[in-house]
Amino acid sequence: MNDFHKDESKNEILKVQDLAFKYSDQIVFSGWEFKFNSGVTWLKGRNGSGKSTLLKLLAGALKPSIGDIEIMGIKLKIAPLQYQKQVFYCGPGPIVFDHLTPSEFFGFMRNLYPNCHENNLTQNISGFDLTNSLHSPLKTLSTGTQRKVWLAFALAAASKVTLLDEPFNALDSKSLVYLRTSLGNLSKDTSRLWIVASHEYLGDGILVTQTLEMTR
């Protein structure tokens, strides 16, 4: 079972009702409900506690056994394509499209997220020190650099919901500072939701609206 705790706020963005999911015979969620509010939600818990599973369910990458997940009234099971246009997921592993260069990856993602803030993307490319890597295939880049490419777009995508799974892993110290500063600025936006799964403290400059702790 999963035990979550939350701090109340305003501006509901994402709602989960009666969620159930299991791997084989291992129950991860059963009748779980939660209302995510705008700002930053810190999803806490040790490695293996199910944080990544929850984010993949919210992203539509995993299908729940039962339950409803919706963003601003758009239900995942009724309008999956419309739902997924509202959410951006950035995982802990390498990018799937690793045959692309970062420049090509950004172009591909722009088609999926046309509201991307170009100025922010340009700033993120510089902030993560990616300029010299833009034309090298992603598969030739380190895991940390691939992570920075993914994060650079995630921070600029302007999706209603952004899901970041252990975003601080594999980053150099300069990139960690840039990421925390960027999230601190973005956390003030009351029209969007950021769910950050991390086993470590997010940082003093990030305004956390809700805290959920998985204790399974």
List pLDDT tens digits, range 129-150: 999 999 999 999 999 999 999 9
Please report the pLDDT score of residue 211 as a whole number: 96
| Under 8 Å between Cβ of 139 and 97 | no
Is it true that domain 12-213 has CATH number 3.40.50.300?
yes
Window from 92-101, 133-142, 189-198 with minimum mean pLDDT: 92-101
Read off the pLDDT band of 8 (50, 70, 90): very low
Please report the pLDDT score of residue 50 as a whole number: 82
Helix (H, G, I), strand (E, B) or coil at 47: coil
Helix-strand-coil split of the chain, %, nearest 5: 30, 25, 40
pLDDT at 203 over 90: yes
Read off the pLDDT band of 26 (50, 70, 90): confident
pLDDT at 216 over 50: yes
Average pLDDT, the chain: 92
Helix (H, G, I), strand (E, B) or coil at 212: strand
Distance of CA 47 to the CA centre of its chain: 17
Please report the pLDDT score of residue 5 as a whole number: 41
- Tell which wins on pLDDT, 216 or 163: 163
Mean pLDDT for the stretch of residues 194-209: 94
Please report the pLDDT score of residue 166 as a whole number: 95
Window from 9-13, 69-73, 136-140 with minimum mean pLDDT: 9-13
Please report the pLDDT score of residue 6 as a whole number: 43
Instruction: Enter the pTM of the model.
Output: 0.92
In angstroms, the CA 202 to CA 215 distance is 18
Helix (H, G, I), strand (E, B) or coil at 180: helix
Mean pLDDT for the stretch of residues 45-59: 89
Please report the pLDDT score of residue 129 as a whole number: 98
Q: Alpha carbon of 58 to those of 48, 62, 93, 111, 130: distances in Å?
A: 17, 8, 18, 21, 29
Please report the pLDDT score of residue 9 as a whole number: 44
Helix (H, G, I), strand (E, B) or coil at 150: helix
Q: Cβ of 7: how many Cβ atoms within 10 Å?
A: 12
What are the two backbone dihedrals, phi and then psi, of residue 83, each rounded to the nearest 5 degrees? -60, -50
Domain boundaries in the chain? 12-213
Read off the pLDDT band of 167 (50, 70, 90): very high
Q: Cβ of 166: how many Cβ atoms within 10 Å?
A: 20
